[in-house]
Structure 1
Amino acid sequence: MQREITRRKFIVTASLATGFALAVQPISADAIATDGKGLIAGAVKIPVQGGEIPAYRAMPAEGSNFPIVLVIQEIFGVHEHIQDVTRRLAKLGYLAIAPELFVRQGDVSKLSSINEIRPIVAKVPDAQVISDLDSTVAWAVKSAKGNADRLGITGFCWGGRITWLYAASNPKVKAGVAWYGRLVGDATALQPKHPVDIASSLTVPVLGLYGGKDTGIPLTTVDQFRDRLKSSRSKSEIIVYPDAPHAFFADYRPSYREKEAKDGWKRLQAWFKQHGV
């Protein structure tokens, strides 16, 4: 994948969201709140090409050489839900880090509707994202006691798509878990490839978790993608929960489905363990 992005210096004025993104209000009573007891958790800055980006990092308070998990945001940015997911992973012994990958294009956490957010996200180049994730891994190893030989990635919705693409871009990734990420699409200058385009050449094992009632990701595209995966060496798998909608893991939204979310979380842990993350 093309990795060149602009060398123009940029200044990060946005900080990480505190609380949930404005566009997802009101918050469901089912929203999970994971405390920071026994953890080092909070905002950090990641040096990237041309400047710095904010990120949320959580890891055990004691120890070192932690396996690294990149946590890739939904369209709503690195708001409280994504930060909570990093803490859940840190409780399992991981160094989990969620870089804010839209920051050059805008602060989506303060926008009131998804229709305002989409034009900003549409301007985010895949090459920029891949480069920023490479930089995040480098920072995790150098500055946060991370083990580069035990690298995993998981992402949700927008981040699910990126999970597939980054696994294809970085063969050092041991395993990935993609939650309902879009699989097909038209090639553009900013998004030249989609997961379906890299499926047959994928070498990293990725577990895809999808909803059978996801109106934005038709099962026909999931089946098309699964067929492409059969010719790869990755031993990736696709799980479809027949009655689940899109964003079934998002416990702060009406789309949350507790049974499927808990099963998916167990599968994530087993998948990472199986593949050495």
Structure 2
Amino acid sequence: MGQTITLTATDGHTLSAYTAGPADAARALVVVQEIFGVNHHIRAVADSFAADGYRVIAPALFDRAEGGVELPYDQDGVQKGLKLRAAIPPEDTLLDITAAARALGLPPAHTGIIGYCWGGTIAWQAACRTNVFGAAIGWYGGGIAAERTLVPHCPVELHFGETDASIPLSDIAAIRAAYPDLPVYTYPDAGHGFGCPERASFNATAAHLARTRSLAFFDRLL
């Protein structure tokens, strides 16, 4: 089990973060939340990577708009999450991501980032707009296609569900066209949020394969 700590970004903003894993780990990960906050699921994801030997931190990105946010996986939760996300400038979110990466205490070559949903898009932005990561992975990041002209500073791997109603296959094709050498995996019968067992869209087979591929990617690069 992990603990909650406080981070300070370079603009002076303080935010909470869930951290887990051995303090002397040789590799570290920033885990980036969905639009539901650093909730039970995201803490469980952090704990799972910690069990694999990583030092992990999950920053509470909604703290810039409202503290202590943990939203349910229902329509009300979606609507509030979208509202909170819209209230936070992307550049401020990257300040918080950078603060989380630096708090892990390892050089970029041994620090990765993985994000889910909103966090998947943030992982892409962090790979392109910061220099604090050695590898980045995005799971079903809906905003990546719109920012496919960005150039990542580290290796990136992406995962999408083929039946994701919010990310059309044309978006995935556009990403592949922009970066033909970038590993982009799709999963049949997998919708948005297929990696979260607390969502109706959970697909155990796809989630297991995507996690296996993610671990192999980080194992090779960090």
Q: TM-score scaled to structure 1, two decimals?
A: 0.74
1:134 pairs with one of 98, 101, 109: 98
SS in 2 for 1:182: coil
SS at match of 1:149: helix
Mapping for residues 46-125 of structure 1, pairs under 5 Å: 46-48=7-9, 49-60=11-22, 64-107=24-67, 108-109=69-70, 112-125=76-89
Cα offset for 1:197?
2.5
- State how far apart, in whole Å, the 2-side matches of 1:51 and 1:124 are: 12
Question: Which secondary structure does the structure 1 equivalent of 2:127 belong to?
Answer: helix
Runs of 4+ in 1 over 4 A off after TM superposition: none
- The 1:126/1:64 distance shift into structure 2, 3 A limit, reads same
- Counterpart secondary structure, 1:109: coil
Q: Which amino acid aligns with 2:95?
A: S
Q: Which amino acid aligns with 1:71?
A: V
| 1:45 Cα deviation from its structure 2 partner | 0.5
User: Which structure has the larger Rg over C-alpha atoms?
Assistant: 1
Q: Given residue 142 of structure 2, which amino acid in structure 1 is its aligned partner?
A: R
- Deviation track 1:177-211 (CA, whole Å, cap 9, x = no partner) reads 110001457xxxxxxxx43121xx22421111100
Tell me the equivalent position of 1:271. Answer: 217
CA contact (8 A) 1:67 1:147 kept: no
Work out whether residues 183 and 222 of structure 1, in 8 Å CA contact, stay in contact via their aligned partners in 2.
no
Which amino acid in structure 1 is aligned with residue 78 of structure 2? I
The 8 Å contact of residues 115 and 123 in structure 2, kept in 1 or not, is answered as yes
Query: Is residue 120–residue 140 contact of structure 2 (8 Å, CA) maintained in 1?
Result: yes
1:109 Cα offset (Å)? 2.0
Percent identity, aligned pairs only? 29
Which range moved further: 64-73 or 104-113?
A: 104-113
> Shift in Å at residue 169 of structure 1?
1.7
Classify the secondary structure of the residue corresponding to 1:160: helix
Q: Is the 8 A contact 1:68 1:148 kept in 2?
A: no
Counterpart-to-counterpart distance in 1, 2:169 and 2:147: 15
> Does 2:206 correspond to 1:260?
yes
Unaligned 5+ residue runs, structure 1?
A: 1-35, 186-193
Q: Which moved more, 1:158-167 or 1:100-109?
A: 100-109
* Structure 2 unpaired stretches of 5+: none
- What pairs with 1:108-257 in structure 2 (closer than 5 Å)? 108-109=69-70, 112-141=76-105, 146-183=106-143, 194-198=146-150, 201-230=151-180, 235-257=181-203
- Matched letter for residue 209 of structure 1: H
Tell me the SS of whatever aligns to 2:115: strand
Aligned residue for 2:63, secondary structure, equals coil
The Cα of 1:125 is off from its aligned counterpart by 0.9
Distance 1:103 1:68 in 2: 23
Between the aligned partners of 1:243 and 1:110, the Cα distance in structure 2 is 26
Distance in 1, matches of 2:38 and 2:14, equals: 15
Deviations, residues 220-239 of structure 1 (Å, cap 9, x unaligned): 01101111113xxxx52100
Contact 2:98 2:132 survives alignment (8 Å): no
> Once the 2 structures are TM-superposed, how far is the Cα of residue 103 of structure 1 from its aligned partner?
0.8
Match in the other structure for 2:3: 42
**Distance apart, 1:65 and its partner CA:** 4.7
Deviations 1:153-175 (A, max 9, x none): 00000000001110112234211
Query: TM-score by structure 2 length?
Result: 0.91
**Separation of aligned partners in 1, 2:19 and 2:144:** 31
Determine helix, strand or coil for the equivalent of 2:61: coil
Give the match's secondary structure for 1:93.
Answer: coil
Number of residue-to-residue matches in the alignment: 217
